[in-house]
Amino acid sequence: MTVALIVAAGSGERLGAGRPKALVELAGRPLLQWSIDALQDVESVTRIVVALPPGTPVPAGVTGVDGGAVRSDSVRRALAAAGEDDLVLVHDAARPLVTAKLAATVIDALRSDHDADAAIAAVPVTDTVKRVDGVGVVTETLDRSGLWAVQTPQVFRRGALERALRAPAEDLALATDDAWLIERGGGRVIVVRASDENLKVTSPLDLQVAELLLAGRRAGEA
Ligand code: C5P
């Protein structure tokens, strides 16, 4: 069975909403609630633990913990409050368009590959990606074939994630996702093709796009 950890303790400064991003209103619900609702619909998910900004009320039906100073700290704290499930799904609250279907597909991918330590949602990169130095000069153009933009959900075998999160604090602070902590230790991480719709809400523009997409989904359900 799977425990789902949602990390929602970021400040969301880039959104400029004056409150934590997880609590920002999106299509009639707090942004965080969209992820909770989607993950509650996944059959193998037994429990949801959410890392929240300290002092935030805990949403109904989930276990709440105080988030940490960096993202990996929030993951570690949430994992410490989880039960004994063999798989751990980690999801960023900043991706409110996650679907139960995507989460279930990532879980199934890991279950089907016995050698894998983790399975992660991702999409092939469509933009040309360049490395730029500190003064705005291009130093390299990367070969786009084989580059994927990584999302959440990311699903881990519990032991592999626990080991990865024992990394030194300075490494944890650098991790923008948990899969990196597994890869650098030689672990096998597989990708599951997701959709661009599973976007990350960072800027006010992202929030507008998310609103439109969720309104479209509702119209489709009606
Ligand atoms: O900062 P970033 O955009 O990478 O955050 C990704 C996710 O991690 C967000 O959902 C955010 O709420 C969460 N986070 C957290 N604790 C932190 C920093 C970020 O739970 N200290």
For the stretch 169-204, pLDDT in tens is: 999 999 999 999 999 989 999 999 999 999 999 999
Residue 52, helix vs strand vs coil: strand
Q: Which residues pair with 48 in a beta bridge?
A: 4
Kindly report the average pLDDT of the chain as a whole number.
94
Helix (H) or strand (E) holding 141: strand 138-141
Residue whose CB lies within 8 A of the most ligand 1 atoms, among 92, 95, 207, for a mutation test: 92
Q: Tell whether ligand 1 has an atom less than 6 A from the beta carbon of residue 141.
A: no
Q: Tell whether ligand 1 has an atom less than 6 A from the beta carbon of residue 32.
A: no
Q: Which atom of ligand 1 is nearest to the CA of 68?
A: 21
Which tokens is 120 given? 């992660």
Q: Tell whether ligand 1 has an atom less than 6 A from the beta carbon of residue 20.
A: no
Q: Please answer whether residues 119 and 179 qualify as being in contact, where contact means their C-beta atoms are separated by less than 8 angstroms.
A: no
Domains of the chain: 2-121+150-221 (3.90.550.10)
Please state the pTM of the whole predicted model: 0.96
Q: Tell whether ligand 1 has an atom less than 6 A from the beta carbon of residue 92.
A: yes
User: Which candidate, 103, 107, 87, places its Cα nearest to that of 95?
Assistant: 103
Q: Is the pLDDT of residue 13 over 90?
A: no
Tell me which residue has its CA closest to atom 14 in ligand 1. 10
Residues 192 and 99: their CA atoms lie apart, in Å, by 14
Q: In this structure, what DSSP letter does residue 4 have?
A: E
For the chain, where are the alpha helices, taking DSSP H only?
Answer: 31-40, 71-80, 100-112, 158-164, 169-174, 179-183, 204-221
Q: How confident is the model at residue 14 (pLDDT cuts 50, 70, 90)?
A: confident
Q: Tell whether ligand 1 has an atom less than 6 A from the beta carbon of residue 7.
A: yes
Residues 59 and 70: their CA atoms lie apart, in Å, by 22
Tell me which residue has its CA closest to atom 2 in ligand 1. 10
Tell me which residue has its CA closest to atom 19 in ligand 1. 10
Which tokens is 198 given? 């599973």
